[in-house]
Structure 1
Amino acid sequence: MTQEHLTEELLDRLLSSSNVCEFLAAEYPGCPSFADYLWALLNAREMKRSDLARESGLNATVVYDIFSGKSRPGRDHAIMLSIGLNCDLRETQRLLRLAGVSELWCKQRRDAIIIWCIEHSFDLTATDNELQRLGEQPLLQSK
């Protein structure tokens, strides 16, 4: 995956540009689709979609439908995908943004636990155990 400019850097460049067209022509990075971003993460980790289904705890059909663009994940499913891909916090936040759901917010108790688990590279089972231990709703609902 290519290195991206931080939003703050782009904002600084936009504000220092003499006109917006100059900025757009030279700097505008564009934004990948959610599926494109997932594919890039999957390829960077040399995983298959079946691996991701297993690691994320999601049904393989759900994962395939998300990759094909047939469906978009809800917030918990997007978080589960990021955990299955072993994303860091920045990648997770971007994945959530591109999925059209709210990012993790450390002022929310459940989100704070998930952020901590992501920072410590917890897998889905360990994350759910931590959520349950602290009295919060797990990501993987019991069937």
Structure 2
Amino acid sequence: MAITHHLTEDLLARLLASTVIDEYLKGFDIADRALSDYLNELLQSHGIKRADVVRGSGINATVVYDIFAGKSNPGRDHAIMLAFGLKCDVVETQRLLRMAGVSELWCKIRRDAIILWCIQQGFDRAETDDELYRFGEKTLLATGRLR
């Protein structure tokens, strides 16, 4: 079951082309969407279980379950780690980060560029941490610089 979404650029173009805001709001069922709903959709579409996310992300199980239940929001690194646990591609990762209320990965930031590249290559969280460490960047499970 694939998750289908309108591209943000398409929605923005349609919004700006609307002469009346009501047309846009009615036409696309625009509403705030909960992060927990998106995470559960990803679980289903990727055919994995929360326990797989815990193992793949490296995040404490209680924290993962609280995020999935909507009891808490992840910080940026935890959101990135969740994306690895969920086996997200780049688009899904960026959407997850936006929905978590944190900044997206940006290719002009060295650490972010490494993470983006690792996601594109299909690396898991541990392999990504190895790459971050190799380049002297803060790993997802560590604090502070490693230089």
TM over 0.5: yes
What residue in structure 2 maps to residue 56 of structure 1?
57
- Report the CA distance between 1:109 and its aligned residue: 0.6
Q: Structure 1 unaligned runs (5+)?
A: none
What residue in structure 2 maps to residue 88 of structure 1?
89
**Percent of residue pairs bearing the same amino acid type:** 59
What residue in structure 1 maps to residue 46 of structure 2?
45
TM-score relative to the length of structure 2: 0.91
Q: Secondary structure at the match of 1:112?
A: helix
The amino acid across from 1:114 in the alignment is: I
Q: How many residues align?
A: 142
Instruction: Evaluate the alpha carbon distance shift between residue 30 and residue 136 of structure 1 in structure 2; reply closer, same or farther with a 3 A threshold.
Output: same
The amino acid across from 2:129 in the alignment is: D
What residue in structure 2 maps to residue 15 of structure 1?
16
Q: Distance between the aligned counterparts of 2:55 and 2:35, measured in 1? A: 20
- Report the CA distance between 1:25 and its aligned residue: 1.1
Range moving further from structure 2, 74-83 or 133-142: 133-142
CA contact (8 A) 2:105 2:112 kept: yes
Range moving further from structure 2, 24-33 or 122-131: 24-33
Alignment root-mean-square deviation, CA: 1.4
What residue in structure 1 maps to residue 78 of structure 2?
77
TM-score relative to the length of structure 1: 0.93
Q: Structure 2 unaligned runs (5+)?
A: none
Q: Distance between the aligned counterparts of 2:20 and 2:13, measured in 1? A: 13
